[in-house]
Amino acid sequence: ATPTAIMVGTGRGASNGILIKSADSLETAGRIKTVVFDKTGTITQGKPGVVDVAPANGVAASDLVALASAVESKSEHPVAQAIVEYAESQGIQPVQDTVSDFTQVPGEGVRALVGGRTCLAGNARMMASNQVALDNAEDAAERYADEGATPLFFALDGKLQGIIAAADAIKPTSARAIRELHAMGIDTVMLTGDNERTAHAIQKQAGLGKVIAGVLPQDKEREVARLSQEGGVGMVGDGINDAPALARADVGIAIGAGTDIAIESADLVLMRSDLMDVPAAIQLSRRTLRTIK
């Protein structure tokens, strides 16, 4: 594109809340064939709330919540905050036992010692890797997931204490933005560390073309690299976890309300954090490219 066209395009972007970091990215955005989205905080609000508590094995619901809030107070995952806030809203104190040896298990959840007993908090995969029997809790978990909620499992010394379901609603314009991209002939994909069933429910709500669930942070980058071999890939994300994938994509697009590292790793920043600005940015770029020739 001519320097003038680039200047006009960049200026038009800025006045519409789309920060374009380089002339290159403005041009590349017009050749995007696939847009890859992160789920939490990108397609969804990123502020999950507890929607149900289902204790197991005779545990009282308040004891499950007390255990969960003690462990989750150490975690920075959005679901952890949902549980801590839920416990507070219900007036349930976290268990008083000391929480020590807190560790994160990538793609699974967290583990800690609570009063010397091993507590696991995570997804079904974490329960399976630790031989925690789910029995009929699995049916409840699938029901939550089919509604788009994330079932979080809690175990103490290898015994299931129950499930807490957390739901993170999709943003008001996610579905419209995705329809718009499809109308422009662009494929859409969502990548998430969340489980397959929850991911499919969100896919349906947002009208996404494809989902890849259960991905570890490092796999996000690999998936973007793989898709990039078939044509231009735009990656939209907000999290620390998304930074490598944003850098790897042909055009990294950060949510303005996202983490600093995501914003630094991206080529475009959506200052309004509105996904409608993804098709808008691509249109802007297409128009800029057309004024070249």
- By CB under 6 A, name the binding residues for ligand ADP: 39-40, 72, 75, 77, 79-80, 106-110, 121-123, 150, 152, 192-194
Closest CB 152 distance from ligand ADP, rounded Å: 4
Closest CB 44 distance from ligand ADP, rounded Å: 10
Contact partner, 72, from Mg ion, ligand ADP, none, Cβ < 5-8 Å per class? ligand ADP
What dihedral angle (degrees, nearest 10) is formed by the CA atoms of 35, 39, 42, 43? Answer: 80
Is 38 labeled as catalytic in the residue annotation?
yes
> Where does this chain bind Mg ion (CB under 5 A)?
38, 40-41, 238-239
- Does residue 30 contact residue 229 with C-beta atoms inside 8 Å? no
The residue from 38, 187, 250, 267 that is catalytic is: 38
CA distance 223 to 221: 5
- Does residue 127 contact residue 155 with C-beta atoms inside 8 Å? yes
Phi/psi-derived region of residue 214, left when phi > 0, alpha when psi is between -120 and 50, beta in every other case = left
Contact partner, 238, from Mg ion, ligand ADP, none, Cβ < 5-8 Å per class? Mg ion
Give me the amino acid identity at 141. Answer: A
Q: Which CB sits closer to ligand ADP, 13 or 46? A: 46
Contact partner, 150, from ligand ADP, Mg ion, none, Cβ < 5-8 Å per class? ligand ADP
Q: Which CB sits closer to ligand ADP, 29 or 167? A: 167
Helix (H) or strand (E) holding 187: strand 187-191
Closest CB 213 distance from ligand ADP, rounded Å: 9
- Find, among 167, 166, 162, the residue nearest to 63 by Cα: 162
Question: What positions carry a catalytic annotation?
Answer: 38
